[in-house]
Amino acid sequence: MRSEPAVAVTGLVKRYGDTTAVDGLDLTAERGAVTAVLGPNGAGKTTTVETCEGFRTADGGDVRVLGLDPARDGAALRPRIGVMLQSGGVYPTVRAMEMLRHTARLHAHPLDPEELGERLGLHSCGRTPYRRLSGGQQQRLALALAVVGRPELVFLDEPTAGLDPQARHATWELIRALRAAGVAVVLTTHLMDEAEELADHVAVVDVGRVIAAGSPAALCGGHDDVLRFEGRPGLDLASLDAALPPGARAEESPAGHYCVTGAGGPALLAAVTAWCAAHDVLADRITTRRHSLEDVFLDLTGRKLRP
Ligand code: ATP
């Protein structure tokens, strides 16, 4: 049964009184892959993930985690999944490395806690009581605790929020290593570059449903690339347009600032620079930009702050 997805959610519904937090949501997370769940605040991500973790019961739909029902089979599931909690779950006075070693001993085949502590920079604060750890150190300990039991599936809730760049990269490396070891990683994040960097599959959730899903490349594909440069005002745009790949076009706004949009960024760049060379134009401040996951996210969910 190794081929079944690690998480298979179909038509999930969850209500809190009059609020429908999740409204017919479908989500699949494969083994050996990172699945990023993105969405605006209040979209229903945490509710969905907590239902998969067995902390909440669904009002409708079907939730399968490693082939089991988390509401019913929690005892069988718990040793097989890792959950990174945003806060809590650790005694305030326990020391960081003690907690990690203790948690490792609770599992049959744990990772080496010393190596994991080293990897996440926990040794330098290993003797510090939990309540005295900085926010970032608590975060790194929470990640270590989630993965030390060698889970088949790990849920990471904003794992790098508030981390310094070094810790962020160490976290990303660890997530990549988990994926390479065949672990299914379900990641909720508001950091679009993190999702773009790590995710094999992205699900964008809004008002309780998945409104778009696919690989970052598939979600970002099909959009024009944008190339900007500065040059002397009044360049012959008809001539430039004629030199561009089919479908691409150039605009000048304001005077001396040019924007060229079209598919196939590298070909666009080559055409623009060749045209400039042929017309004795020294293009200044050339920048190119691909449609990012953040652009896709804002296109889908809107640019205005939600009420
Ligand atoms: P964020 O990005 O801010 O963490 P989210 O996508 O994780 O948001 P949820 O926490 O799942 O969103 O919340 C979805 C909706 O359900 C929100 O409208 C929230 O106010 C509501 N909600 C969540 N938990 C409860 C609760 N225990 N009781 C009542 N309403 C709740």
What pTM did the predictor assign?
0.86
Pocket residue to mutate for ligand 1, from 19, 38, 50, 306, most atoms within 8 A of Cβ? 19
Cα(48) to centroid of ligand 1, in Å? 10
Cα(41) to centroid of ligand 1, in Å? 8
Eight-state DSSP code of residue 130: G
Q: What is the pLDDT of residue 179?
A: 97
Q: Which amino acid is at 146?
A: A
Q: Please tell me if the CB atom of residue 19 comes closer than 6 angstroms to any atom of ligand 1.
A: yes
pLDDT by residue, tens only, the chain of 307 residues: 457 899 999 999 999 999 999 999 999 999 999 999 999 999 999 999 999 999 999 999 999 999 999 999 999 999 999 999 766 667 788 899 999 999 999 999 999 999 999 999 998 888 898 889 998 999 999 999 999 999 999 999 999 988 999 999 999 999 999 999 999 999 999 999 999 999 999 999 999 999 999 999 899 888 889 999 999 999 999 999 999 999 999 999 999 999 999 988 899 999 999 999 999 999 999 999 988 899 889 989 987 777 7
Q: What is the pLDDT of residue 245?
A: 94
Q: Which amino acid is at 180?
A: A
Q: What is the pLDDT of residue 264?
A: 84
Q: What is the pLDDT of residue 2?
A: 54
Which residue lies with its CA nearest to atom 7 of ligand 1?
46
Q: Please tell me if the CB atom of residue 42 comes closer than 6 angstroms to any atom of ligand 1.
A: yes
In the chain, beta strands by DSSP E:
7-16, 19-29, 34-38, 60-65, 81-84, 153-157, 184-188, 201-206, 209-214, 225-230, 249-252, 257-262, 284-289
Q: Please tell me if the CB atom of residue 16 comes closer than 6 angstroms to any atom of ligand 1.
A: yes
Q: Which amino acid is at 213?
A: A
Which residue lies with its CA nearest to atom 19 of ligand 1?
42
235: nearest Cα among 273, 276, 274: 276
Cα(192) to centroid of ligand 1, in Å? 20
Eight-state DSSP code of residue 127: T
| 174 Cβ neighbours under 8 A, 6+ residues apart | 119, 120, 143, 147
CA distance 284 to 287: 9
Pocket residue to mutate for ligand 1, from 45, 84, 192, 301, most atoms within 8 A of Cβ? 45
Q: What is the pLDDT of residue 291?
A: 85
Q: Please tell me if the CB atom of residue 171 comes closer than 6 angstroms to any atom of ligand 1.
A: no
CA distance 184 to 187: 10
Cα(278) to centroid of ligand 1, in Å? 58
Which atom of ligand 1 lies nearest, measured to the CA of 205?
A: 6
Kindly give the pairing relationship between strand 225-230 and strand 284-289. Answer: antiparallel
Q: Please tell me if the CB atom of residue 21 comes closer than 6 angstroms to any atom of ligand 1.
A: yes
Q: What single string gives the DSSP state of each residue in 254-265?
A: STTEEEEEES-H
Q: Which amino acid is at 185?
A: V
Which residue lies with its CA nearest to atom 18 of ligand 1?
42
| Structure tokens belonging to residue 36 | 């990023």
Helix (H) or strand (E) run with residue 243 in it = helix 237-243
Q: What is the pLDDT of residue 218?
A: 92
Q: What is the pLDDT of residue 90?
A: 76
CA distance 160 to 55: 23
Q: What is the pLDDT of residue 87?
A: 65
Number of H helices, E strands in the chain: 11, 13
